[in-house]
Structure 1
Amino acid sequence: MTDHVARVVNQWKSEYSEVDASPMYVLARMMRLSTQINKTLSANFGKFGLATGDFDVLATLRRSGTPYALRPTELTRSSMLTSGTMTSRLDKLERLGLVRREANPNDRRALMIHLTDAGRTLVEKVAGKHFELEAEMLKALSPEDREALAGILERWSHKLETDGTM
């Protein structure tokens, strides 16, 4: 079975054999998979009127546990966004009635972002569909392959993060 990436690597081998294009077997496939995964997940979030980043904020608040509230800096750190981007996202979610800003009872100068009841209901509904969709996308892999791939990716991610590459 030959895919697009294999054809590209073979072209490099044929036309410029002095370079080793073999990393593409992994990295180009991961990039292509990432693009398709993001497209599929984004379309699912769109069915609920959300962008991927909106879901990320709501899910972060939901999984933080009761009282489903975090400081904006905690949300920004969790999503690796700039504070300006986070502010825009929070403005949108607040307009939709999914989050609310309140003074931090421990520091009146700071805010807490709270997940509203409507936000909690929506994120739980979306999360259920999201995890079903992720499971569906992984059906092409055996349970053993999924476990092996998860382990490989975890080790690789840890190594890149430790080296400062990511």
Structure 2
Amino acid sequence: MTTPEQLPIDRAEEISRAWQREQPGLPVGSIGILTRIRQAAKLLDDERRRVLAVVAMDAATLDLLSTLRRSGPPYRLTTRELADRSLITAGAVTQRVDRAQGEGLVRRLPPEPGTRAVEVELTAPGHRAVEEAVGGLLTYEQGLVESLAPHEQDELARLLTILLRDLSARARGPRG
């Protein structure tokens, strides 16, 4: 059995110890959390990109198609709703829709009389593509977190929710 002393020091621990040595008293507690989150995000992003390449889809297209698919029948949202739900700009939505429309995955519907709101709708090929991509991706990604017991997964999700709420509130708050 491996003891904690035998485990290799991870990068976050190495950075934290170096700062403690170089500037004793410097608050380094966040390093163990934020550095690991950044490292995990990078690894997860790389894995997602690799898995999506198998189904010839990029993350931005998956996000667009998934957002439409999760909206429920008739799988249609305005470009404003897409921007809000995807946390991206209107310009980014336009680029994503243009690309997906060119591939036949979505279609733009003309605005209703008296409005300027353009709706985007998932096509049958788009529906099939997102079903295939999401099914395989979520099954694969579940495997990535199975080193944690189910109760640990729930606890990590709960703690990350708290952190993200606070970070979101800070990002929306006054800048000083």
Scaled to the shorter chain, the TM-score interval is over 0.9
Which ranges in structure 1 are unaligned for 5 or more consecutive residues?
Answer: none
Q: Secondary structure at the match of 1:23?
A: helix
Which one is further off, 24-33 or 154-163?
A: 154-163
Deviation at 1:131, TM superposition (A): 0.7
Aligned-pair distance for 1:165? 5.7
Q: Pick from 66, 74, 88: which aligns with 2:95?
A: 88
Match status 1:70 vs 2:105: no
Deviation at 1:115?
Answer: 0.2
Distance 1:82 1:6 in 2: 37
Q: In the alignment, what sits opposite 2:166?
A: 159
User: SS of the counterpart of 1:5?
Assistant: helix
| Aligned match for 1:46, one of 44, 50, 53 | 53
Q: Please point out which of 91, 104, 107 is paired with 1:97.
A: 104
Query: Which residue does 2:123 correspond to in 1?
Result: 116
Task: Write the deviation string for residues 37-84 of structure 1: whole angstroms up to 9, x where unpaired.
Answer: 111011112222221111000000001011000000110111111111
How much is the aligned-residue C-alpha RMSD, in angstroms?
Answer: 1.7
Mean CA deviation greater in 75-84 or 92-101: 75-84
Question: What is the TM-score with the length of structure 2 in the denominator?
Answer: 0.87
TM-score, scaled to structure 1 = 0.92
SS at match of 2:88: coil
What residue is the counterpart of 1:133 in the other structure?
A: 140
What SS class does the counterpart of residue 65 from structure 1 fall into?
Answer: coil
Q: Structure 2: which 5+ residue stretches go unaligned?
A: 1-6
Equivalenced residues, count: 166
CA deviations over 1:1-51 (Å, ceiling 9, x no partner): 321111111111112224122210011001000110111011112222221
1:5 maps to 2:12: yes
What percentage of aligned pairs have identical amino acids? 27
Inter-CA distance 84–163: structure 2 relative to 1 (3 Å threshold): closer
Q: Could you say what secondary structure the match of 2:146 adopts?
A: helix
